[in-house]
């Protein structure tokens, strides 16, 4: 099972000091966070993509290319890549290039984006969100698998005899996850292609996440990629930890109360009860995370949101230390012990698998 972090890339004032980091500071902090993720033994770093303030990651492959050069083992991913407003040809080129630079340590997660004005800024219409996601991905899928592509669709200028370069590393396209909070069409899309399905699992109750994953699993089996239990599932989650549970609650509360999206709404206590948010000791985070498996079955990837809502870099790095030292090693062991044979790992590029096999510590 893979463990990692995903970032939204928000530039948010620290509510305890009122200080807002500059965009430059935020971008540099993102790099420090990614390198820390590798240092503490996490598997995945994923960045969001946004084209409006207060977010900085508008150019994910630039950032991920830099991180690729500064890391050895970390899988670089996205959360999410906007399959609606980006040209699928440019996605094919950018991520195939990144795949070569990173020697295969690349996958990506498709998402639609829910910021209305971004669509017209890129010449699209948000009401066409689902059809855009379906058509654009159909083209991207083809561009990575067929050397010469003829294409005609509703949303993009036709292509005749087009070859997307560079070709994917070793002829193996990056693995793709499809992320959606509530659209059955996207679970269906992931199932149809035998791709992974990721639920952000942050804003809504676990019961809802379970419904989306169940639907994806049933349709994955329907399309003959394997049994429902073999479908490739990823979940998000958010945590804040201190050794002492009360310290975690006291320190995180002002960040929660003022957080973008859900701040100024329910209490921290209500939100931790009703959603997967966990604020407490590393042990509590371990216990809560293990319950995700009860809801969705054995799954392949767990990403945590650690660096949002104005948390200072120093705090985020401390959180990653706790995650890497006290949470993930326990979760790896517990999830592995519970996992039946026949449940696959998340696909990684063969070069990555080979390199890992060569450097992996011996099982104890």
| Residues binding other proteins (CB under 8 A) | 130-131, 134-135, 138, 153-154, 182, 184-185, 187-189, 191-192, 203-205, 208, 211-212, 214-215, 218-219, 222-223, 261-262, 264-266, 270-271, 274-275
- Which residue's CB is nearer to other proteins, number 214 or number 334? 214
Distance of CA 321 to the CA centre of its chain: 20
* CB 246 within 8 Å of CB 286: no
Q: Classify residue 159 as left (phi > 0), alpha (psi -120 to 50) or beta.
A: beta
* Collapsed DSSP state (helix, strand, coil) of residue 305: strand
Q: How far is the CB of 122 from other proteins (least distance, A)?
A: 19
* Collapsed DSSP state (helix, strand, coil) of residue 117: coil
DSSP state of 325: I
- Which residue's CB is nearer to other proteins, number 45 or number 292? 292
Q: How far is the CB of 131 from other proteins (least distance, A)?
A: 6
Q: How far is the CB of 113 from other proteins (least distance, A)?
A: 16
Match 């996605």 to its residue by tokens: 91
- Which residue's CB is nearer to other proteins, number 124 or number 219? 219
- Which residue's CB is nearer to other proteins, number 122 or number 223? 223
* CB 344 within 8 Å of CB 300: yes
Q: What dihedral do alpha carbons 221, 186, 80, 349 form, nearest 10°?
A: 30
Q: How far is the CB of 135 from other proteins (least distance, A)?
A: 5
Counts of helices then strands in the chain (DSSP H, E): 13, 13
Judging by DSSP bridges, how do beta strands 149-151 and 159-162 pair with one another?
antiparallel
- Which residue's CB is nearer to other proteins, number 75 or number 212? 212
- Which residue's CB is nearer to other proteins, number 215 or number 290? 215
Judging by DSSP bridges, how do beta strands 175-179 and 107-111 pair with one another?
parallel
């Amino acid at each position: 099972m893979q463990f990692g972090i995903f970032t939204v890339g928000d530039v948010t004032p620290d509510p305890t000091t009122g200080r807002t980091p500059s965009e430059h500071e935020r971008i540099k902090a993102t790099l420090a966070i990614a390198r820390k993720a590798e240092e503490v033994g996490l598997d995945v770093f994923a960045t969001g993509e946004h084209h409006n303030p207060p977010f900085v990651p508008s150019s994910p492959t630039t950032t991920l290319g830099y991180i690729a050069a500064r890391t050895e083992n970390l899988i670089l991913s996205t959360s999410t890549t906007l399959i609606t407003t980006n040209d699928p040809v440019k996605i094919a080129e950018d991520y195939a290039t990144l795949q070569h630079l990173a020697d295969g340590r690349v996958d990506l997660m498709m998402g639609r984006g829910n910021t209305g004005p971004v669509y017209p800024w890129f010449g699209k219409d948000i009401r066409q969100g689902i059809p855009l996601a379906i058509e654009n991905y159909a083209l991207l899928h083809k561009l990575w698998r067929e050397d010469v592509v003829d294409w005609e669709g509703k949303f993009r200028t036709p292509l005749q005899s087009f070859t997307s370069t560079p070709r994917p590393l070793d002829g193996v396209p990056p693995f793709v996850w499809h992320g959606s909070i509530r659209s059955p069409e996207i679970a269906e899309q992931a199932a149809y292609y035998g791709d992974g399905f990721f639920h952000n699992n942050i804003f809504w109750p676990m019961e809802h996440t379970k419904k989306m994953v169940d639907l994806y699993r049933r349709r994955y089996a329907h399309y003959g990629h394997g049994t429902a239990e073999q479908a490739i599932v990823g979940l998000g989650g958010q945590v804040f930890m201190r050794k002492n549970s009360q310290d975690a609650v006291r320190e995180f509360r002002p960040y929660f109360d003022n957080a973008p999206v859900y701040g100024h709404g329910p209490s921290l206590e209500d939100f931790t009860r009703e959603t997967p948010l966990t604020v407490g000791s590393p042990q509590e985070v371990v216990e809560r995370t293990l319950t995700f498996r009860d809801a969705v079955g054995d799954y392949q990837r767990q990403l945590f949101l650690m660096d949002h809502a104005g948390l200072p870099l120093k705090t985020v790095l401390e959180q990653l230390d706790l995650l890497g030292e006290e949470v993930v090693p326990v979760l790896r062991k517990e999830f592995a012990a519970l996992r039946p044979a026949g449940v696959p790992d998340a696909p990684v590029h063969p070069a990555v698998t080979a390199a890992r096999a060569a450097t992996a510590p011996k099982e104890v």
